[in-house]
Amino acid sequence: MRNGTVIFKTNYSVSAVKDSTALLYRNHGEPSQVVQLESLDLPQMGPESVLVKMLAAPINPSDLNMIQGTYAILPELPAVGGNEGVGQVMKVGDKVKTLKVGDWVIPRDAGIGTWRTAAVMKADDVVTVSKDIPVLSAATLGVNPCTAFRMLTDFEELKPGDTVIQNSANSGVGQAVIQIAASKGIQTINVVRDRPDLQQLSDRLTALGATHVITEETLRRPEMKELFKSCPRPKLALNGVGGKSATELLRHLQSGGSMVTYGGMAKQPVTVPVSALIFKDVKIRGFWVTQWKRDNKHDEDALRNMLDELCILIRAGKLSAPACTEVSLQDFRKALENAIKPYVSTKQVFVM
Amino acid sequence: MRNGTVIFKTNYSVSAVKDSTALLYRNHGEPSQVVQLESLDLPQMGPESVLVKMLAAPINPSDLNMIQGTYAILPELPAVGGNEGVGQVMKVGDKVKTLKVGDWVIPRDAGIGTWRTAAVMKADDVVTVSKDIPVLSAATLGVNPCTAFRMLTDFEELKPGDTVIQNSANSGVGQAVIQIAASKGIQTINVVRDRPDLQQLSDRLTALGATHVITEETLRRPEMKELFKSCPRPKLALNGVGGKSATELLRHLQSGGSMVTYGGMAKQPVTVPVSALIFKDVKIRGFWVTQWKRDNKHDEDALRNMLDELCILIRAGKLSAPACTEVSLQDFRKALENAIKPYVSTKQVFVM
């Protein structure tokens, strides 16, 4: 990756980009089995196209589900894997006004296929990001930080001092939630699964800005009452797990608060007591950043403003990329295997 | 009841109201065992009080839960049973400007104790209703039709031609939903439990304005697809049951739609697939008319406008009271037993 960055700060020759090496799959199945490294000819540039050299692209859980064929949206096959990443514009079509050579860009929508060295894309399918942030931050900006940002913004009006509770606090979204909330003076109660290195994890999340880090077991215990002597009951609960964990989050929500589900790691539904709906007026919602981007496709400012705000936090050192393992496209099989393993807490990121 | 109405259309002597006969309970427990008919002295009238002679008051499920001690709000004991009903103002305190002798009034909030012949109440605790509607309609206006009205108004913007799906369609709320929706040109898919007299029930609900009446079993079958050839997928699902029935309602909701839970007859929680929250953006909400009334206590127009709209429907023959069995306060034990029996589909209403 760092090599990649260096390459692009030198005078990379545009004419050198004639074909692309890509991680392609022709059938749905286990990612490490169906994905192949292939050489693809780049199509002709159209007047509204841009040639983008990819710099870095992570492996996200939804990428794997898409390859497995279990995700809510599936591309036509054969398809190039990956939905997130950052690239640099090498060439722009005659009619492209919004981008210039050298710009860093990230996809506007899922399905673009980011695990490749280069691609010809429609200018409208990408959006610029600031070049003065780390390339790993740019590569992982479009999904998790955007999910965290919107969930903290669109469901409850949160003021400094308010509390948010979340499970899966060590996930990419979870870490972004901690950091964005902390930057706004919002307290976070962060629920993680118990593990041998709990203290170390807790210290790491606390260093990111977590107010409290507790285990799923603690969440169920009466001592939670003690915790709520020092901070208000949460207005917002963020659920990436489902099942019992979600029901437990709900129990602690204040009357009229919202629980927003963005993931279902436990592969169990969200179960809501009728009394919580009727007498506590809890609101059970879901969030999918891909849908948000589609719904706001024609509102240029909505995405722009969010990315700008996130970049300000990144530059200020208040929002860091998750721990990443950088791998080359050639090492894709191992990377895909690692990405699918439970408890591997670093994100696999292809660097081109 | 009809006797009651007749009495109040004659010159009932105010001075005759000196005490009250009331259905009182001193302990929580089975309603037919803990409720007693007792004579209560009426307190002195204050300058902001009114003397109200009760005309009719229903037995609602929440009244029974309150007596059992299982409801979300419980009055101090001893307490007079009943939270809904209509009375006539017999006398007003010196400072009362909002009410006059002869007005019909209903409680603004739960907890007033309506199962009695007369009561001295604060003028602010009641609100007038039109006297040109049937007394049974007035007695049952404040809970179920208000619940139906708000659920059809506050969660999704419904236009003529839109569809609402509901379970428990034969309940008091369910019947009000059918009628209010029909008056606005909104289609309803009404789910009921299978029963021997299904056709009869279906005919009755259709006569009220139901677009479709189906059983819980049909709701799970593929033939539902046929139904959605003739009407759009529902924007709104109303759930008075919980458990599987609620999950089935959800399956048919259109993307971005809301399910509002107002009851939990099945005594099972609402279970929501994570994918419905994330990828279909369904919104899971609850509604409690008592909370709505408290939240809107200082917005005189909100309650007034709703009651006026409902009275217009009643006068136009578009909103009828549910099937009622009229009983005297003296026959309370039998009435309470009937009210708690499953499948007794008429509402027990005390007439004084």
B202/chain A closest Cα distance in angstroms: 27
Q: CB B263 to CB A286 under 8 A?
A: no
Q: What is the CATH number of the domain that holds B228?
A: 3.40.50.720
Judge whether B187 lies within some domain: yes
The total number of structural domains in chain A stands at 2
Residue ending a domain, among B271, B290, B309, is B290
**Alpha helix (H) residue ranges in A54-164:** 61-68, 135-139, 144-154
Query: Best interface-test mutation with B: which of A274, A280, A296 has the largest number of B CBs within 10 A?
Result: A274
**Structure tokens of B187?**
């289609």
Same domain assignment for residues A101 and A192: no
Share of chain B above pLDDT 90, in %: 89
Same domain assignment for residues B284 and B327: no
A63/chain B closest Cα distance in angstroms: 15
Q: What is the mean pLDDT of chain B?
A: 92
pLDDT score at B229: 93
A71 counts as catalytic = yes
User: Which residue from A242, A273, A281 is facing B274, i.e. has the nearest CB?
Assistant: A242
Same domain assignment for residues B280 and B219: yes
Judge whether B304 lies within some domain: no
pLDDT score at A340: 87
B6-45 tens-digit pLDDT = 223 233 344 456 789 999 999 999 999 999 999 999 999 9
* CB proximity under 8 Å: B 291-320 to A: 291
pLDDT score at B323: 86
A36-45 tens-digit pLDDT = 999 999 999 9
Residue ending a domain, among A268, A290, A312, is A290
Judge whether A212 lies within some domain: yes
Residue B36: domain span: 2-140+321-351
For residue B220, with 0-12 CB atoms within 10 Å meaning exposed, 13-18 middle and 19 or more buried, which class applies? middle
Under 8 Å CB-to-CB from B28, ≥6 apart: which residues? B34, B67, B68, B69, B74, B77
Same domain assignment for residues A29 and A149: no
Same domain assignment for residues A109 and A62: yes
Same domain assignment for residues B209 and B242: yes
pLDDT score at A18: 75
Ranges of residues in chain A with a pLDDT under 50 are: 1-15
Same domain assignment for residues B286 and B334: no
Q: Is the dihedral of CA B215, B219, B222, B224 positive or negative?
A: positive
3-state percent breakdown (helix, strand, coil) of chain A, nearest 5: 35, 25, 40
Report d(CA A150, CA A129) in Å as an integer: 18
Same domain assignment for residues A117 and A164: no
Judge whether A302 lies within some domain: no
Same domain assignment for residues A44 and A22: yes
Share of chain B above pLDDT 70, in %: 94
Phi, psi of B131 (to 5 degrees): -90, -5
Query: Best interface-test mutation with B: which of A155, A248, A278, A293 has the largest number of B CBs within 10 A?
Result: A278
Look at residue B65 and tell me whether its pLDDT is greater than 90. Answer: yes
Same domain assignment for residues B175 and B52: no
Judge whether A182 lies within some domain: yes
Same domain assignment for residues B126 and B18: yes
Same domain assignment for residues B275 and B149: yes
* Interface ipTM: 0.91
Judge whether A300 lies within some domain: no
Residue ending a domain, among A290, A311, A338, is A290
Residue B126 near residue B55, CB atoms below 8 Å: no
Judge whether A273 lies within some domain: yes
Judge whether B301 lies within some domain: no
A223-252 tens-digit pLDDT = 899 999 999 999 999 999 999 999 999 999
**Residue A273 sits at the chain B interface (C-beta within 8 Å):** yes
Q: What is the CATH number of the domain that holds B32?
A: 3.90.180.10
